[in-house]
């Protein structure tokens, strides 16, 4: 018996979100290769914009798609899904650190293919929101700053500086962003 891959797990999750018209985007380490370094990560992080969707219906649909749903309570910024076939853990953020899942944030996300052979794509967080989300984490680690430096270096000419400054100021991480931008410029030479 063949176990589904992580990409198949993501595809199943995305199909549930699409069916219920839930706006989503991949955040965290799985989004990083689109803008910065490729590195290993233990879990998958998704952000969803809950509008008028019924959370009970969402939970029911996720469970029918073989996801165990944990910590699914009103007001909680995150809940955890575990794919029962692969034991893949997915943190689903309703209120991701530092960013607001508003029209602008959702407009800036990017659709990518999971592989060259895949016939489907999924949404990932935009690079500016990725940076602020990483810097605003309550449990920020040095790895998060390394991730941000790689995005600043790889995306330097493509970043929307005005938008990045605005959301960094709103999240209270602008001084840290400026320090990392200075460090990135020094590394560029």
* 53-86 per-position pLDDT tens digit: 678 888 899 999 999 998 777 677 889 999 888 8
Give the pLDDT mean for 85-110: 93
Query: Which position has the higher pLDDT, 25 or 5?
Result: 25
What residues contact 143, with CB distance under 8 A and at least 6 apart? none
For domain 6-188, give the fold.
Beta Polymerase; domain 2 (3.30.460)
Smallest CA-to-CA distance from 35 within 107, 144, 126 is with: 126
* Run of H or E including 125: none
- How does pLDDT run across 34-44, given as a tens digit for each residue? 898 887 776 78
Smallest CA-to-CA distance from 29 within 41, 37, 13, 11 is with: 41
What's the pLDDT score for residue 2?
56
What's the pLDDT score for residue 43?
78
What residues contact 86, with CB distance under 8 A and at least 6 apart? 3, 4, 5, 6, 9
Query: Which position has the higher pLDDT, 105 or 36?
Result: 105
DSSP, collapsed to helix, strand or coil, labels residue 110 as strand
Q: Does the predicted model carry a pTM greater than 0.85?
A: yes
Question: Is the pLDDT assigned to residue 125 strictly greater than 60?
Answer: yes
What number of other Cβ atoms are within 10 A of residue 69's Cβ? 15
Give the pLDDT mean for 123-144: 95
- How does pLDDT run across 8-40, given as a tens digit for each residue? 888 889 999 999 899 999 999 889 988 988 877
What residues contact 6, with CB distance under 8 A and at least 6 apart? 44, 86, 88
Question: Is the pLDDT assigned to residue 131 strictly greater than 70?
Answer: yes
What's the pLDDT score for residue 86?
81
Domain extent listing, the chain: 6-188
First to last CA, the chain: 52
What are the helix (H) ranges across 6-141? Answer: 6-19, 55-64, 103-108, 127-135
């Amino acid at each position: 018996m063949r176990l589904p891959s992580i990409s198949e797990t993501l595809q199943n999750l995305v199909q549930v979100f699409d069916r219920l018209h839930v706006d989503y985007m991949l955040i965290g380490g799985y989004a990083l290769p689109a803008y910065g370094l490729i590195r290993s990560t233990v879990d998958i992080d998704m952000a969803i914009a809950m509008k008028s969707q019924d959370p009970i219906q969402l939970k029911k649909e996720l469970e029918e798609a073989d996801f165990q749903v944990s910590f699914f309570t009103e007001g909680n910024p995150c809940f955890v899904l575990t794919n029962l076939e692969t034991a893949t853990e997915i943190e689903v953020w309703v209120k991701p650190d530092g960013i607001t899942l508003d029209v602008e944030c959702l407009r800036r996300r990017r659709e990518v293919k999971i592989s060259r052979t895949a016939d489907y794509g999924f949404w990932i967080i935009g690079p500016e929101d990725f940076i602020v989300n990483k810097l605003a984490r309550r449990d920020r680690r040095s790895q998060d700053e390394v991730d941000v430096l790689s995005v600043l270096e790889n995306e330097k000419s493509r970043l929307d500086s005005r938008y990045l400054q605005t959301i960094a100021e709103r999240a209270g991480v602008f001084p840290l962003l400026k320090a990392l931008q200075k460090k990135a410029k020094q590394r560029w030479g």
